[in-house]
Structure 1
């Protein structure tokens, strides 16, 4: 591990793909130690795009057969979520050690491939969906403070809690910048 990483207790890894859709080899050797907190993590896998797998079971097996200390992963595939039992299994590395499983959750953008997406929104979006992200096709900047969006996020979080992931990787928390840049000095509802 790099000296500066030790100071911050941050485990640095290079992602082989900006889309986070490929498995890769960890920088730090795998181990069979039980991992009970983030302080103990020596390597991790960030895998957010399972579209290259044929189904959720193939995706689950690929993750299960790894020895990473921490999985930062998408826990659904084409609107089917991993089961509580599958998450429990993923908390055990292939070599028998315990690990941490953290689920991806975008809170500042709605994604048109999620279980919550209403097909009607493809023709007419609700007021709280602003525009498509210029960075990701199918992702839409939202008024994250709107009651409707909050309800959707609460429902999503409930699903993650039901399958008992260890935590959430919150993405698009910087959406407020979009509003600062585009609506400066304007009151928006």
Structure 2
């Protein structure tokens, strides 16, 4: 019998906001006092004011930012390593940055450069070395020293997991010349490894906070990919039990620009999200990077019609917070 709490038991937010850094005038630092006043029902933020361990919010700051809102979630990338995080070792590449050539000092889990994000490299997320960075049982008293461990201790309700769609990269996009022994051979195998990773994260976090849950960002087709392999019902149950929602970027306004692409709804992905998540009672949080009343109104109407919870972010840098969806207006959308 499964010991995992069904995702439907996790709190659901009526609206949400998403900010990972401050603006240049504020030296890009997040301000906990400002965030505490945000009117959103769910906030997704970096667990540190400046992205470094030295800038992590303390428990009192986290409690103040949580306030009366339903969910305060901390961002963590589980599919890529970033050279501005404390775990990064400059000896891993020739120039000390993620976009340099790997050296003999680089760990086995460090993969190819992300051409769209020069500060990051893909990771072999199934490798124990990378998992040890995300969560572990190290410390003088057995306390974990990984990113997830810190987030749980800070008092966040959930971890917001970015680059979950790294499974698709390793299963379908990685070049054969970059594939090493032990790498997944196809999309299903890569998806199974990602779902197992996420389920293990939830299991570990709930040793400290039994109500903790995860919100993967992107990777909407992961359930479909696992089902294609057949015979993984227990894993799917663990995965569903680990998450309290899924978040998706660029679902309605998709294109090559950072913001304000043309209206271009991803109908196949919308249907997958409805079938594999909404129908299971799992909230779908959608963020599109748009400005302008007309675009925002159209985005919110379409997302609500499809059963999702929208947030219109004004820029992809996520350095400022837009206002929340108006619940009264949302009710009008459904009439």
Structure 2: segments with no counterpart, 5+ residues:
1-8, 95-102, 136-145, 183-335
Q: Which runs of 4+ in 1 moved over 6 A?
A: none
What residue is the counterpart of 1:54 in the other structure?
27
What residue is the counterpart of 2:47 in the other structure?
75
What residue is the counterpart of 2:151 in the other structure?
160
Number of aligned residue pairs: 147
| Of 60, 64, 71, the match for 1:100 | 71
Aligned in 2, Cα 1:114/1:136: closer, same or farther, shift over 3 Å? same
State yes or no: 1:122 paired with 2:103: no
Kindly provide the CA deviation profile for residues 30-67 of structure 1, in whole angstroms up to 9, marking residues without a partner as x.
xxxxxx9633x2221111233633375x5212212211
| Of 59, 63, 81, the match for 1:84 | 59
- Displacement of 1:135 in angstroms is 2.1
Q: State the SS of the aligned residue for 1:104.
A: strand
Structure 1: segments with no counterpart, 5+ residues:
1-35
What residue is the counterpart of 1:31 in the other structure?
none
- The CA distance in 2 between the partners of 1:82 and 1:145, in whole Å, is 29
Aligned in 2, Cα 1:142/1:89: closer, same or farther, shift over 3 Å? same
Aligned in 2, Cα 1:163/1:37: closer, same or farther, shift over 3 Å? same
Aligned in 2, Cα 1:49/1:131: closer, same or farther, shift over 3 Å? farther
Kindly provide the CA deviation profile for residues 109-142 of structure 1, in whole angstroms up to 9, marking residues without a partner as x.
0111112111222332322111211221211101
Aligned in 2, Cα 1:147/1:68: closer, same or farther, shift over 3 Å? same
State yes or no: 1:133 paired with 2:106: no
Q: Flag the structure with higher helix content.
A: 2
State yes or no: 1:179 paired with 2:170: yes
Greater Rg by CA? 2
TM-score by length of 2: 0.41
Give the superposed CA RMSD: 2.2
Q: State the SS of the aligned residue for 2:125.
A: coil
- The CA distance in 1 between the partners of 2:31 and 2:40, in whole Å, is 15
Q: State the SS of the aligned residue for 2:35.
A: helix
